[in-house]
Structure 1
Amino acid sequence: GELVLGHVSVLTTFIMSPDGRYIITADRDEHIRVSWYPQGFNIESYCLGHEKFISAIHIPRHSPSHLISGGGDSVLKVWDWMAGTL
């Protein structure tokens, strides 16, 4: 395989953006990172706000500008993932 990107913490989940231009990753330290693909070292945004690990992320087909995340804090958050805002 090819190294695309690295995280300081353990990755818990990842997805590709619908257009294939970004890889969106989540980790045990409450971070969601939006990176260019395949240049994973170029970071577009962070989605920060969970209080515990993130275990699931999803981009709805009917609303590709939004990202839904959930994890150990029992909260679902809906993000504008390009801006990194709720």
Structure 2
Amino acid sequence: GTLVLGHTSLLTCLLLTPDNKYIITADRDEHIRVSWYPQGFCVESFCLGHAQFISAIHVSSDLPDTLISGGGDSELKIWDWFSGK
């Protein structure tokens, strides 16, 4: 395989956006990273705010600009993943 992107922590989640232009990954160190696909080294944004590991991320085809994330801090967060807010 080919290395597409790198994290410094264990990846816990990965998804492609509905338009297949971005890959969104989450890791054990509370980071959500939005990268171009397939140029994973080009980072578009980070969604930061969880206090513990992230165990689930989801982008609905009905709301393709919205990311929902959850994890060990028992919170669901809603993001505009493109801006990271």
- The TM-score by the shorter chain falls in which range? over 0.9
| Structure 2 residues without counterparts, runs of 5 or longer | none
For residues 1-86 of structure 1, the aligned pairs below 5 Å read 1-85=1-85
CA–CA distance in structure 2, aligned partners of residues 57 and 74 of structure 1: 13
CA RMSD between the two structures: 0.6
What's the TM-score once normalised by structure 2's chain length? Answer: 0.97
CA–CA distance in structure 2, aligned partners of residues 42 and 79 of structure 1: 20
Q: Deviations over 1:13-42 (max 9, x none)?
A: 100011111000000000000000111110
CA–CA distance in structure 2, aligned partners of residues 17 and 2 of structure 1: 20
Equivalent position amino acid for 2:66 in 1: H
What's the TM-score once normalised by structure 1's chain length? Answer: 0.96
Q: Which runs of 4+ in 1 moved over 4 A?
A: none
